[in-house]
């Protein structure tokens, strides 16, 4: 009875969400000045999500650990300014931006959702749905004289990430309605105070850890001076046209465990087969299937 109620609630929330959908505004924060350099690197991402009862049809939220590494034949691509300016710390600083990242993996924590395929995408307009926001960042020297070059390492690095998380609920390899989740208005701030060099991961393992979130409309989004909050980040189901459904499918606790690890060598991830039951999603499946990945 409870489950039935939650299912009905979920559908109601979704319909309501569609009616109230909007397109997020784009921030002008951390606008980059040419010339640019581009770095590519392999990486893996460990992310802890709390799936909401409305999404799973279960009575309580479920915490899952997801883990993914580079989608076959892809590497993450980051653009950075070549000329440094005196930034928030008064040291040589450059603006950066994730151009693209595509990681594939699965739920790795035990339980009903173990093995469910999960993929991540980062980079403006490169998501599983249209309209994925820009993910800017900065790198600043921890010490060193101002010389207009970011050339003293280890350096301090942050990124504010807008993510598409595709949970392939029915493991059919198709991006079905209801399966793509996005943090529309709370970017995930990842920080690495000991970046080893450009490109990252070549001299040493570079580990970015979640430290909180920055509001999408923070004028300092992507910059060291932004306001960093530590409450949970909402991930909404994305409508096929890229607008938010206002249906919160999952939350991410940005404080403790989420890690993005840049590795010296490309690494791969064994995909687990598996199936889980998410009753509410069956209702979406009659809708359009968009792209196969
Ligand atoms: Ca310098
Ligand atoms: Ca699917």
Question: Which of the 8 DSSP states describes residue 185?
Answer: S
Q: What is the pTM of this model?
A: 0.82
Return the ligand number nearest the Cα of 142. 1
Spacing, Cα 193 to ligand 1 middle (Å): 16
CB 101 within 8 A of CB 144: no
Q: Are 135 and 161 in contact (CB under 8 A)?
A: yes
Ligand 1: centre distance to CA 246 (Å): 44
Per-residue model confidence as pLDDT tens digits over 187-209: 999 999 999 999 998 888 899 99
| Percent residues over pLDDT 70 in the chain | 79
pLDDT digits (tens, 9 = 90+) for 85-96: 999 999 999 999
29 pLDDT band, cuts 50/70/90, is low
Ligand 1 (single-atom ion) residues, CB below 5 Å:
92, 144, 147, 149, 151
Dist. CA 199–CA 262, nearest whole Å: 10
Residue 79 has pLDDT above 80, yes or no: yes
Measured in Å, residue 149 CA sits from the centre of ligand 1 at: 4
| C-alpha–C-alpha distance, residues 155 and 267, integer Å | 25
Domain layout of the chain by residue ranges: 2-285
Please state whether the peptide bond connecting residue 89 to the residue before it is cis, i.e. omega within 30 degrees of 0.
no
Q: Are 106 and 274 in contact (CB under 8 A)?
A: yes
- Separation of 255 CA from ligand 1 center, angstroms? 31
Beta-strand relationship, 36-41 and 180-182:
unpaired
Ligand 1 centroid to 83 CA: how many Å?
10
For 209-254, write each residue's pLDDT tens digit: 999 999 999 999 999 999 999 999 999 999 999 999 999 999 999 9
């Amino acid at each position: 009875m409870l489950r039935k109620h939650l299912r009905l609630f979920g559908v109601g929330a979704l319909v309501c969400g569609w009616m109230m959908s909007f397109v997020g505004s784009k921030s002008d924060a951390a606008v980059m000045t040419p010339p640019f350099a581009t770095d590519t690197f392999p990486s893996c991402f460990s992310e802890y999500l709390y799936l909401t009862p409305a999404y799973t049809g279960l009575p309580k939220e479920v915490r899952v650990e997801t883990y993914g590494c580079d989608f076959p034949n892809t590497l993450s691509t980051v653009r950075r300014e070549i000329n440094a300016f005196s930034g928030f710390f008064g040291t040589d600083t450059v603006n950066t931006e994730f151009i693209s990242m595509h990681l594939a993996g699965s739920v790795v924590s035990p339980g009903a959702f173990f093995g469910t395929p999960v993929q991540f995408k980062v980079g403006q307009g490169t998501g599983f749905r249209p309209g994925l926001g820009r993910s800017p960042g900065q790198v600043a020297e921890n010490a060193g004289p101002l010389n207009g070059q970011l050339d003293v390492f280890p350096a301090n690095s942050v990124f504010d990430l807008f993510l598409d998380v595709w949970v392939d609920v029915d493991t059919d390899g198709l991006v079905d309605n209801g399966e793509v989740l996005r943090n529309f208005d709370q970017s995930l701030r990842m920080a690495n105070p000991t970046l080893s060099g450009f490109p990252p991961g070549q001299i040493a393992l570079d580990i970015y850890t979640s430290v909180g979130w920055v509001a999408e409309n923070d004028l300092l989004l992507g910059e060291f001076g932004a306001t960093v909050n530590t409450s949970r980040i909402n991930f909404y189901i994305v409508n096929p046209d890229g607008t938010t459904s206002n249906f919160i499918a999952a939350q991410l606790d940005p404080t403790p465990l989420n890690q993005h690890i840049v590795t010296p060598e490309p690494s791969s991830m064994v995909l687990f087969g598996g199936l889980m039951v998410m009753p509410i999603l069956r209702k979406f499946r009659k809708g359009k299937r968009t792209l196969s990945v």
